Amino acid sequence: MASGQLSRAEALVCSGCRHACHVMLYSDTKTKLFGRIPIRHIILMQMRFDGLLGFPGGLVNPSEETLEAGLSRELLEELGVALPISVEDHVDSCHAPASSSSSSSSQLITHFYVKKMEEEQIREVERAAASTAADHGQEVLGMVRVPLYTMKGGGGLASFLSHSFIGNARSQLIDSLLRLNLVAPEELHKALTHSLG
């Protein structure tokens, strides 16, 4: 386990901590951009109220609800769909850097989940998020898909990664791309080099 990371059980022992759960929803797709560039996977992120990119989810109170029930509640508010999240979808938990907890003296622990869906289910989430979701236009300004290809000049994933992200959402995305083999390591490396330059 990398430094700063906790198991789900270790994280829950900290009763004085605040907890936030977020999820990466994704699917495979056969569609192509301009009829020739394979899109390969649809990964959902959101433009937040604070102008930063992040994953759907939010603050959860483990004394009132399980982490996964709290995450499902946040998803209903932010995406407008009931999506069951289970312990098996949990990827990691870690202490957020001090700046993420600045509004409160208590330490924030962030829990990250990944859930693979069918392409049609992802499209349904996008439709609901833009119409019936309670938080649409308020906490959530819109859902965005992550471009996974890299075009000449660095457009695509490299440009996407050069935006500003909340907390450790950017590294959660990069780690997931590698772990789930959604982008080839050498392509990701190229995109990271471009996004820093």
Contact residues for Mg ion, defined by CB under 5 A: 58, 74
C-alpha to C-alpha distance for 84 and 191, rounded to whole angstroms? 33
Sequence-distant contacts of 30-39: CB under 8 A, at least 24 apart: 33/149, 37/149, 37/151, 38/149, 39/147, 39/148, 39/149
Cβ–Cβ under 8 Å, residues 195 and 161: yes
C-alpha to C-alpha distance for 93 and 52, rounded to whole angstroms? 21
* Least Å from the CB of residue 37 to ligand APR: 27
**Which partner from the list Mg ion, ligand APR, none does 68 bind, CB cut-off 5 to 8 Å by kind?**
none
CB nearer Mg ion, residue 55 or residue 156: 55
Q: Assess 172 for contact with ligand APR (CB under 6 A).
A: yes
Among 1, 7, 38, 59, which residue interacts with ligand APR (rule: CB under 6 A)? 59
CB nearer ligand APR, residue 133 or residue 150: 133
Tokens of 124: 């349904």
Cβ–Cβ under 8 Å, residues 108 and 20: yes
CB proximity list for 190: less than 8 A, separation 6 or greater:
150, 158
CB nearer Mg ion, residue 74 or residue 126: 74
Site string for ligand APR, 123-162 (x = CB under 6 A): ----------------x-----------------------
Point out which residues bind ligand APR (CB under 6 A).
20, 22, 54-55, 57-59, 74, 96, 100, 108, 110, 139, 166-169, 172
